[in-house]
Chains A and B, each alone.
Chain A
Amino acid sequence: MDKIHYSLQLQDVTKIYSRRTIFKNINAGFHSNGIYGIAGSNGTGKSTLVKAIANIISPTSGKVHHQKNNVMIEEQHLHNEVGFLSPYFVFYEEFSAEENIDIFLKIRGIEKNSGLIDTLFDRLVLNKRRGDAVKTYSSGMKQRLKLIFALSHTPSLLILDEPTSNLDDAGKEQFYGIIKEYADKSVILVASNEKNDLALCSSVLNLEEYK
């Protein structure tokens, strides 16, 4: 299979809430597979920026261009190219972990890659609990499940917002291992303040510079 080339370009991206400027005129490009960081102290807009990149919110001005193999991705199809892990993401608690993943894939219209899902459940030590309702999960287990959700449709762009929050040391190492493996296949954005998270990144976009 040919290697997928994903390219992300931020052009004068600005976000203003009410009268407060979160960030302004961000120009940045992520044009080859690898891990890139987004850093900044609390309130500098890391989560806001990644939401704008994932097309969950619109920037006040500026544009975010997504390209796959040099073809522009339309907004309507973007959700299937993006894998997103965020502290704000919530599962359907009445369903089991496996049901959640199955439902999401069906809504996406993507066929389930059982091998991949099984491997992820196994590596993230959730295999024994995959049939249990998500409401019985601890916060660390939910964080692991969020990574499975983010990777379940093999996205070309993986956005990880505070990826290691709520994880123990073993969990963090598992996450880092998986992230490094995917760095060869996709563009990975890590929004975090954790030094260890940012140490994975080849370059870091510091939002303090866009106030």
Chain B
Amino acid sequence: MFKSMSALFLKDIKSELRTRYSINSLAMFIIVTISVILFSVGNEKLTPFMAGGMFWVIVFFTAMSGLSRAFVSEEERGTTMTLQLIANPDTILGGKMLYNMVLIFSMNIVTFLLYTAVFDSFIIKNPDIFFLVFSLGNIGMAVSSTIIAAIISKAGSKGTLYPVLSFPILLPLMLMLIDLTKLCMDGTTFADTQIEIFFLLCYDVLMMTASFLLFDFIWKD
């Protein structure tokens, strides 16, 4: 099954490179958002906690603008039935999740680098823990966004529904990520953050399990 998933993942990457469906708009979104924040802050200095929170706000809205494409583009192009004919639902969900994970990791690394370069107050004192938090956060966001994208792809007003449906599902994740980022900026040790990290891991596992259990019902009419 993993071979089929990676074939679907490679199809999506190849398709993205040819059509530039998401990459260009995501890159523009990241640059514009960071620029707007930079100009609106002006000469004021952001507190470390605000800088950490703002980072995840950018990540959230970037995810909202890009991750739904995995399923929405298939629905808009009429290729949903094509996928139904060539693979079982688990393969499709797995392939799309893999694609969204790579997409979100790439764009968040770019966001992180730009953000760190632009905002002096965004200093991570404990990079090891932040890397773990960043990775688990990205996985959680990719998993949740993928299943929400599958749900909304068949609805009429996809653009509005996606952030509305995502907000309550991603809120606990965002709160944990903001909190953990603050701790990483304070230089807290692993022992002091392990409970939050454990909850983050639980969120990822829970969302992934629920997604695979529910997808079959979403996917078939």
Closest to B95 in A: A107
Quick one: which of A77, A90, A109 contacts B82, CB cutoff 8 A?
A: A90
- With A58-B221, A103-B11, A107-B4 in contact, is A76–B81 under 8 Å at CB? no
Asked whether, in the complex, the Cβ of B86 is within 8 Å of the Cβ of A104, the reply is: yes
DSSP majority for the A interface? loop
- With A58-B220, A94-B19, A95-B15 in contact, is A107–B86 under 8 Å at CB? yes
B155 interfacial by beta-carbon distance below 8 Å: no
Interface size on B, residues (CB 8 A): 26
Q: Which of B65-111 contact A (CB under 8 A)?
A: 77-79, 81-82, 84-88, 90-91, 95
- With A57-B221, A95-B15 in contact, is A107–B87 under 8 Å at CB? yes
Min CB gap B116→A, angstroms? 36
Q: Which of A85-138 contact B (CB under 8 A)?
A: 86, 88-95, 103-104, 106-109
Asked whether, in the complex, the Cβ of B78 is within 8 Å of the Cβ of A90, the reply is: yes
Quick one: which of B4, B18, B84, B95 contacts A56, CB cutoff 8 A?
A: B84
Asked whether, in the complex, the Cβ of B84 is within 8 Å of the Cβ of A109, the reply is: no
Asked whether, in the complex, the Cβ of A108 is within 8 Å of the Cβ of B220, the reply is: no
A84 interfacial by beta-carbon distance below 8 Å: yes
Mask: chain A, 73-85; 1 = CB below 8 Å from B; 0 = not: 0011101001010
B205 interfacial by beta-carbon distance below 8 Å: no
Seen from chain B, the residues whose Cβ lies within 8 Å of a Cβ on chain A are: 1, 3-4, 7-8, 10-11, 14-15, 18-19, 77-79, 81-82, 84-88, 90-91, 95, 220-221
Seen from chain A, the residues whose Cβ lies within 8 Å of a Cβ on chain B are: 54-58, 75-77, 79, 82, 84, 86, 88-95, 103-104, 106-109
